[in-house]
Chains A and B, each alone.
Chain A
Amino acid sequence: MSADRERNHDMTQTDIALLLADAADEVEIGIAPVEAVLRGGRRRRTRRWAVTAVTAMVIAGSTGSLAAAGLLHGGGDGGGRGAVVATHGTTPEQRHVYEPQVTSLAKGMYKNKPWSLVVQFWGAPKDKAEATRQLDAMTRYGVEPAEVHKAADLIGKTSFFVIRSYNGERGTQIMFNTAKELEPFAGTDMEAIATRYSPESESGRLVVGMVAKTAREVTCTWKNGTSTVTQWIPAGYDIYPQLAGVLRPAAGSTTANWFVCRAPEGTSYASAEVTK
């Protein structure tokens, strides 16, 4: 490179730095949104706490298991039925405060033993009496809400729990949250975790997550380069065990649809994205 070209090169880069500085000045700085960031940070901390607790449960095997697995299998394939009632009902029963709405997300066989994945949605209690009864009911179901230290912490909050059961044994809550407003998902937003069929099986074979209500297809890619595309299952339709990927609405879930992907033998989760 000649000296002139070198000089031109340098000058151009300096100029680009000046242009960048100029363009950057166009943004309105405004006041730093301290309160919003603190609120958001605390919410993220709670969510992280929930995921950490999940990991701990998986490692520990049966800790955090469900006492009433039988209840979890009942009425599981109702799809979106009852969602409207839950939203607009006036009695605690209509709002599913004491009995969750349960939707089956996936089921199948692993090492000749049945496994299943369901999501429960619990309506928000309006007062302390409802909250106390709900916490008792949750205890009977064997689920433990995030960041709830006393019954009153549940007031005004919706809860969900994704429960994995294997071989008819007690289920384990693998994804859960309790919040006044559950996070809305839009476009290609996604929140997912990779887990396993049973405490003994390989990690990352089972992927479950939330996507926007408008999403109609999720593609999961596995570490061996292959991928699984979900099949859309409308509300009210049953799922069948052969499906490797499912995307569906869940009763009571007003902000997101739910998907599950199952990895082929010998590989595990690499990535997932909304593709339709």
Chain B
Amino acid sequence: MGDRREARDAEFQSFFIGRWPRLMRTAFLLTGEQHAAEDLVQSTFEQVYVAWRKVAAADDPEAYVRRVMINAHARRHRRRLREFLAPKDDSGLVREVADTGDRIAQADDRGVLLKALAGLPPRQREAVVLRYWEDLTETQAAEAMGCSVGAVKSNAAKGIAKLRAIPGLAETATQGGRK
């Protein structure tokens, strides 16, 4: 009994360690802040641990974890828990387009994007991150968000349209994006 539990814990640990980097990046895009991202991934995996027997036996454990994380993100928004979205720089100035490879300008671009993401309603942000960062299909994103494919399409399209309208981003995009 104890041995079986230890084996399950070891299996869970290995899964958790393997997925941590990727999910931290996704959570960072969703929350916009280091600690909020850590907190989101950590609480996601606490829930996954509770249901580990079921998750480990599932065809696609990753999909389960994504679903839990998106739910947790949505719940935090409903509860209006504090999120540190949008970086500290809120000057709102349009930046000059810098050469690719310029590290300072690159940090600025990241700031513009994170701020733009922060301005999106949570469902649009989730749809954009799942479709264009996680590279999920519309069906997979719908499964993660617990909504219809149509809702994913609509949220992603609205989100992308709003991002495109951000001057700093549009300029970066027309330069071909970051390499």
The interface of chain A, by Cβ under 8 A from chain B, is: 11-30, 32-34, 36-38, 40-45, 48, 187-190, 273
The stretch of B19-27, B59-67, B140-148 in contact with A is: B19-27
- Closest-by-CB residue of B relative to A190 is B79
Q: Which residues of A contact B167 (CB under 8 A)?
A: none
A19 touches B16 (CB 8 A): no
Cα separation A120 to B177 with both chains bound (whole Å): 60
B173 touches A44 (CB 8 A): no
Is B127 an interface position by the 8 A CB rule?
Answer: no
CB-based contact B81/A24 at 8 Å: no
Contact A32 B17 (CB under 8 A): yes
B7-47 contacts to A, CB under 8 A, are 9, 12-13, 16-17, 20-21, 24-26, 28-29, 34, 37-38, 42-43, 45-47
Kindly provide the distance from the CB of A101 to the nearest chain B CB, expressed in whole angstroms: 29
A40 to chain B, nearest CB (A): 4
- Picked from A19, A38, A190, the residue with its CB within 8 Å of the CB of B173 is A19
Q: Given that A17-B133, A22-B109, A44-B49 are contacting pairs, would A27 and B37 also be in contact in the complex, using a CB cutoff of 8 Å?
A: yes
Residues on B with C-beta less than 8 A from A34 are 13, 16-17
Which B residue sits closest to A17, measured CB to CB? Answer: B132
B50–A48 CB distance below 8 A: yes
B70 at the interface (CB under 8 A from A): no
Question: With A and B bound together, what is the CA distance between A13 and B163 in angstroms?
Answer: 10
Is there an interface contact between B21 and A20, defined as CB atoms closer than 8 Å?
A: no
How many chain B residues touch the partner (CB < 8 A)? 50
CB distance from B94 to the nearest CB of A (A): 16
Q: Known: A16-B128, A17-B133. Contact between A23 and B110, CB under 8 A?
A: yes
Is the beta-carbon distance between B42 and A36 smaller than 8 angstroms? yes
> Is B50 a contact of A44 with CB atoms below 8 Å?
yes
Please pick, from A26, A41, A190, the residue contacting B50 in the complex, using a CB distance under 8 A: A41
List of B residues within 8 angstroms of A25 by Cβ: 25
Given A27-B34, A37-B42, A18-B25 contact (CB < 8 Å)? no
Docked complex Cα distance between A79 and B153 (Å)? 52
A45: which of B24, B50, B82, B177 is its contact (CB, 8 Å)? B50
Q: Chain B contacts of A32 at CB under 8 A? A: 16-17, 20
Cβ B177 vs Cβ A15 within 8 A: yes
Give Cα distance in the complex from A33 to B43, angstroms: 11
Besides A19-B178, A24-B28, A24-B133, 15 new A-B residue pairs in contact (Cβ under 8 A), listed by A number? A12-B160, A15-B177, A16-B164, A23-B110, A23-B114, A24-B29, A26-B28, A26-B107, A26-B114, A32-B17, A37-B42, A41-B48, A44-B47, A187-B81, A189-B81
Chain B: minimal CB distance from A169 (Å): 34
Q: Is B169 positioned at the interface, with any CB of A under 8 Å from its CB?
A: yes
Contact, CB under 8 Å: A22 / B178: yes
Assess whether B88 is interfacial by the CB under 8 Å rule: no
By a CB distance below 8 angstroms, the chain A residues around B4 are: none
| B43–A40 CB distance below 8 A | yes
Distance in Å: Cβ of A34 to nearest Cβ of chain B: 5
Contact B42–A33 (Cβ < 8 Å): yes
